[in-house]
Structure 1
Amino acid sequence: MRLVVVGNGMAGSRLVSEVRARDPHLTITVFGAEEGHPYNRVLLSNVLAGKARAEQLRLHELSWYGANRVEAVSGSAVAWIDRETRAVHTTDGRREPYDLLVLATGSEAFVPRIPGVERAIPFRTLDDCDRILKAAEHSRRAVVVGGGLLGIEAARGLAGRGLPVTLLHLADHLMERQLDPEAGLVLGETLTGLGVDIRTGVVAEAVEEDGVRLAGGELADGDLVVLACGVRPLTGLAAEAGLEVRRGIVVDDEMRTDDPSIFAIGECAEHDGNVYGLVAPAWEQAAVAADVITGGKSRYRGSRLVTRLKASSVELAAMGETQLTDEHAEVVRFSHRAKGTYRKLVIRDGRLVGAILLGDSDAVGTLTQLFDRGGPVPGDRAGLLFPGLAAAPVAESPVLMPDAAKVCQCNNVTKGQIRACWEAGARNVAGVAAATRATTGCGTCRDAVEGIVGWLCEQEGISA
């Protein structure tokens, strides 16, 4: 059987590795529109901030494909799908037949239709990142348009390089999809203290040589303009092939489209009315599709989203229904604006349905587990927000975490799986990552993994 995958980004490359791990014989061809290695798009902000090099973002070395008998075609975009003969056709004239096809086309940066927008640089791909960094070397001030997750990471990264930055956002507070107004205000004040000038509730009307012209005539000064205005799913290929498309390519619980021989996963897919823009759902969908493709019976039931901001000196985690008020749920909150701290729990029917943790907090792990597993919330609400105040003694080591505790959200890795692979011989974080993929998504679980591995090694008197 011949499997063809369109898209070799974070969803497509994971699908290929998941399929190959289950079936060593299936013929696999994967097409990637970008040149070179597939890479971890989530960590682009680390490159922009100077915390990582481009080569550190690779998901697979090119040698992996040869070793695993996968044909990877880079820099070759698929132009159309012939469903009658079951073949894809590329822009450079190649025809590739398939028995099963997976669309992992991802999404593209949304670029507003305003005068002069061609002067700005979108922040979406590794090439975009390279262009921004080269431009920053000769710029006196940057303007970032968009105060969502990516825009904040871009603004903080550039500010960390010593470049003055103005961040423009249409909504009245930052990250309005994940945060309530007070959390957005505290986040803005934190970023201001780190050298980012925040302007919310403003409309960008034009990009000019010396900045961004706002509605009302004011100019946001800057000779480097970066766009982080959101993304939209790449669905044109599917729509032209006659597949059902709404916001994304519509799929069922097996990740199949309305053509049983065609699947869709990741940011281009719409499941049960939801289009997810985070890596963890894409990888969960890839695992389900790979299982179905190789004869399994897995089903995708949707994802519980945990958003982590990866910006130096800013700690933020948001999950679930953060916008609910006291009228609709039990809301527990603590705010200390002078310290950049905001913590909020949203509880309904005795279960944690949402949370915001802004500022350094040791409650993130516990609350993420409660949210992910849907378990009952303990009666001591203050103890959840401030674990050090809880009556129960704090565990002296990470090994005392329950085995079922999820350590890596992106890859669904539990503490028990980390312990098991340590016992099988993985004596450092690199070994655990190779065996479980923990730390290879957004990277925010690295400290927790290091703690577990370090404690286990200490008990045995060996070096991690």
Structure 2
Amino acid sequence: MRLVVVGNGMAGARLVTEVRARDRDMRITVFGAETAPPYNRILLSNVLAGSSGPGQVRLLDPSWYAEHGVEAVTGVRVTRLDRDTRTVIAEDGRREPYDVLVLATGSEPVVPPIQGVERALPFRTLDDCHRILAEALPGRRAAVIGGGLLGIEAARGLAGRGLPVTLLHLADHLMERQLDPEAGLVLGETLAGVGVEVRTGVKVTAVHPEGVALADGDLVGADVVVLACGVRPLTGLAADAGLQVRRGVVVDDELRTDDPAVFAIGECAEHDGTVYGLVAPAWEQAAVVADVITGRPARYRGSRLVTRLKARSVELAAMGETHLGEEHAEVVRFTHRAAGTYRKLVIRDDRLVGAILLGESDAVGTLTQLFDRGLSVPGDRAGLLFPGLAGAAQADTPVRMPDAAKVCHCNNVTKGEIRACWEAGARDMAAVAAATRATTGCGTCRDAVEGIVGWLCDQEGVTA
């Protein structure tokens, strides 16, 4: 069988590794428009901040492909799909036949139609990082347009390099899709404390050499302007080939398009009316497609989303229906603005259907498990928000969680799987990460995994 994957980003690269783990002999060709090996896009803010180098966010070493019999065609865009002959045509004229085709084309930045927008730099790829860093010189000022997840990470990264940064957002509070107004306010104050000026409810009308013009006539001085106004699925290739496209490429529970030989995963795919923009769903989809095309029964039933903000000194997790009010659910809140803390639980029918945790919190692991698994919540609501309180549920650390508890949400790794790997000989963090992929996504589970590995070593008197 000949498998062709269009897209060598986080979804495409994961699919290739999943397929090769199941089938040693399948002929695999993957096309990537970027010249760089696949990298962890959600850690690009670390590159921007200087806390990680480009090599530290790499997902696969270039030598992996040759070692595993996979042909990687990088720096080459696929321009057309010929479904009649089952052939992929690339911009360099190459024609690659397939029996199974998987589209993992991802998404592209939204560029608003404002005057002078070409002066701004998008923040989406590793090359974008390099372009921004080339402009982010000492003594310069920066402005970031867009106060969603990506914009906040970009602003925090630039502030970490010592640049004065102004974050501009059209909505009345930051991350309005994931956060309620109070959480957005606390987040803005937290960012102000690390050097990011936040201005919400403002409309950008133009980008000038000297800065960003606003609709109220104000000019925000900036030498570097970064665009982080959201993304849209890249669906042109599929649409031109006659595949069904709405917001994304429409797929069924096997991630197939309306052509049985063509699948779609990741940010370009629309399943049951939803386009997912996070890494965990993309990797879950990759595993399902790998099973299906290697003859194993599998179905994708959608993903329960947990959004984690990956910015130094800013801890945030948001999940589920965070905007529900008291008229529709039981809502439990705690705010301590001076400490940058905001915690909110949304409970309906004795199940956790939403939560916001802003500021350092030992409740994240427990609440993520309750949300992800749809478990009944304990009656002690305060104990859920503050696991250290007397009477709190004894699941406040991953060590005390049951083996079925999910520790790494990005890679769907449970405590039991970490234990099994440890018992099989993976006696340190690097070995556990290599065996399970835990910590290789957003990286926010590192402390939990280290805690479990350390606890297991202590139990056996082993030095990690």
Q: State if a TM-score over 0.5 links the two structures.
A: yes
Deviation at 1:38, TM superposition (A): 0.8
Within 2, Cα distance between the matches of 1:398 and 1:410? Answer: 16
Aligned to 1:376: 376
Deviation at 1:390, TM superposition (A): 3.8
Aligned to 2:345: 345
AA aligned to 1:34 is E
Instruction: Say if 1:110 and 1:230, in contact at 8 Å, map to a contact too.
Output: yes
Deviation at 1:324, TM superposition (A): 0.3
Distance 1:238 1:393, change over 3 A: closer
Instruction: Say if 2:243 and 2:257, in contact at 8 Å, map to a contact too.
Output: yes
Within 2, Cα distance between the matches of 1:296 and 1:231? Answer: 33
Give 3-state SS (helix, strand or coil) of 1:362's partner.
coil
Give 3-state SS (helix, strand or coil) of 1:72's partner.
strand
| Structure 2 gaps, min length 5 | none
Aligned to 1:170: 170
Give 3-state SS (helix, strand or coil) of 1:298's partner.
coil
AA aligned to 1:153 is E
Deviation at 1:36, TM superposition (A): 2.4
Superposed counterparts of 1:120-139, under 5 Å: 120-137=120-137
Deviation at 1:216, TM superposition (A): 2.2
Within 2, Cα distance between the matches of 1:397 and 1:123? Answer: 35
Aligned to 1:366: 366
Instruction: Say if 2:120 and 2:225, in contact at 8 Å, map to a contact too.
Output: yes
In percent, how many aligned pairs have the same letter? 78
TM-superposition CA deviations, 1:135-193 (whole Å, max 9, x none): 00155210000000010011111111110000000000000000000000010011111
Moved runs in structure 1, 4+ residues, more than 6 A? none
Within 2, Cα distance between the matches of 1:397 and 1:326? Answer: 29
Give 3-state SS (helix, strand or coil) of 2:12's partner.
helix
TM-superposition CA deviations, 1:88-116 (whole Å, max 9, x none): 00000000000000000000111111111
Deviation at 1:393, TM superposition (A): 7.3
Within 1, Cα distance between the matches of 2:196 and 2:397? Answer: 38
Distance 1:98 1:376, change over 3 A: same
Within 1, Cα distance between the matches of 2:298 and 2:83? Answer: 25
AA aligned to 2:114 is I
Aligned to 1:161: 161
Instruction: Say if 1:139 and 1:224, in contact at 8 Å, map to a contact too.
Output: no
Superposed counterparts of 1:243-258, under 5 Å: 243-258=243-258
Give 3-state SS (helix, strand or coil) of 2:275's partner.
coil
Residue 27 of structure 2 is aligned to residue 23 of structure 1: no
Within 2, Cα distance between the matches of 1:397 and 1:233? Answer: 37
Deviation at 1:386, TM superposition (A): 0.7
Aligned to 1:308: 308
Within 2, Cα distance between the matches of 1:239 and 1:398? Answer: 45
AA aligned to 1:243 is L
Instruction: Say if 1:117 and 1:207, in contact at 8 Å, map to a contact too.
Output: yes
Aligned to 1:429: 429
Within 1, Cα distance between the matches of 2:393 and 2:231? Answer: 45
Aligned to 1:88: 88
Within 1, Cα distance between the matches of 2:82 and 2:140? Answer: 50
Within 1, Cα distance between the matches of 2:63 and 2:21? Answer: 16
Distance 1:389 1:89, change over 3 A: same
Aligned to 1:5: 5
Within 2, Cα distance between the matches of 1:56 and 1:74? Answer: 20
Aligned to 1:460: 460
Within 2, Cα distance between the matches of 1:118 and 1:302? Answer: 37
Superposed counterparts of 1:277-356, under 5 Å: 277-356=277-356
**Length-normalised TM-score, structure 2:** 0.99
Bigger Cα displacement from structure 2, 133-142 vs 412-421: 133-142
Aligned to 1:61: 61
AA aligned to 2:152 is I
TM-superposition CA deviations, 1:274-322 (whole Å, max 9, x none): 0000000000000001100101110000000000001111111000000
Aligned to 1:145: 145
Deviation at 1:399, TM superposition (A): 3.5
Give 3-state SS (helix, strand or coil) of 1:387's partner.
coil
Residue 402 of structure 2 is aligned to residue 405 of structure 1: no
Instruction: Say if 2:156 and 2:312, in contact at 8 Å, map to a contact too.
Output: yes
Residue 48 of structure 2 is aligned to residue 40 of structure 1: no
**Length-normalised TM-score, structure 1:** 0.99
Within 1, Cα distance between the matches of 2:214 and 2:187? Answer: 23
Deviation at 1:400, TM superposition (A): 3.0
Within 1, Cα distance between the matches of 2:61 and 2:159? Answer: 32
Within 2, Cα distance between the matches of 1:399 and 1:282? Answer: 28
Instruction: Say if 1:398 and 1:455, in contact at 8 Å, map to a contact too.
Output: no
Within 2, Cα distance between the matches of 1:267 and 1:386? Answer: 35
Instruction: Say if 2:31 and 2:78, in contact at 8 Å, map to a contact too.
Output: yes
